[in-house]
Amino acid sequence: MAKRKPLVAGNWKMNGLKASAGELKKIVAAASRTPKPACDLLICPPASLLIPFSSLVKGSALKLGGQDCHAKASGAHTGDISAEMLKDAGAKAVIVGHSERRHDHGETDAAVRAKAQAAWRAGLIAIICVGESEAERDARKTATVVKRQVSGSIPDGATSANTVIAYEPVWAIGTGRTPTVEEVNAVHAAIRGLLNRRFGPEGEKMRILYGGSVKPDNAATLLTLPDVDGALVGGASLKAIDFLGITRVYGNKLKS
């Protein structure tokens, strides 16, 4: 089995103002006390905060990411942001295909794939999200939906260096509900199989994150499964104490 360094990524979604820098500073301070954290650390704030936050994380183990990007590098796309702009603002990665983007903006697998390619073009890591809705889960279509999204959303040329996969059961995001350990284990194992068959040794090295109401009190149960290589954290990433509590699953001595 390939050795994969875990990643704990925080998705702040549409939350945070400049005053939120206080929480970021706590994470940076904790990371600075542990020069080589046992997991990679990433916070994806709103795009408006990338530039002011980039100076705060400079030289630390904490990196910044974007929450979405347009497939094109520039052009007449009012309100959008390109991967190159995110890179220029200090981002190292970008989330694409989050279920809220797929639902709120009708993003298709093809659109997500194009955004992942844009991320690579700009030198960013693409964190590609997949996951089934509650209706799809109840209809026992989880395997079918996830297979389709993995196949359609991940471009050819994906490697462990430029791509991270995040499995997020849509019905568990922000609801406080979580799948059973057996359910998470089964889906992650299925994704690993798909990656291995398509990308060979690189598929074994790619990180697969779990997302969906991850909190300090359930992190140890969810994040230590064989094919779970970290977490994409929503609400719990807004508070340093909760985010750092999740990272301690991996042995980090990080305290806010």
Q: Which residues are catalytic?
A: 98, 168
CA distance 125 to 7: 12
CA distance 30 to 13: 23
CA distance 69 to 6: 24
Rounded to whole angstroms, the maximal C-alpha distance in the chain is 48
Cβ-based neighbours of 160, under 8 Å, separated by 6 or more: 2, 4, 202, 205, 206, 207
C-alpha dihedral (10, 14, 15, 21), degrees to nearest 10: 70
Q: Are strands 62-66 and 7-11 parallel, antiparallel or unpaired?
A: unpaired
Token pair 């990272």: residue? 247
Cβ-based neighbours of 88, under 8 Å, separated by 6 or more: none
Residue 27 main-chain phi, psi, to 5 deg: -70, -45
Q: Which two tokens stand for residue 190?
A: 């299925």
CA distance 56 to 219: 27
Q: Please state the separation of Cα 42 from the chain's center in Å.
A: 8
Cβ-based neighbours of 175, under 8 Å, separated by 6 or more: 213
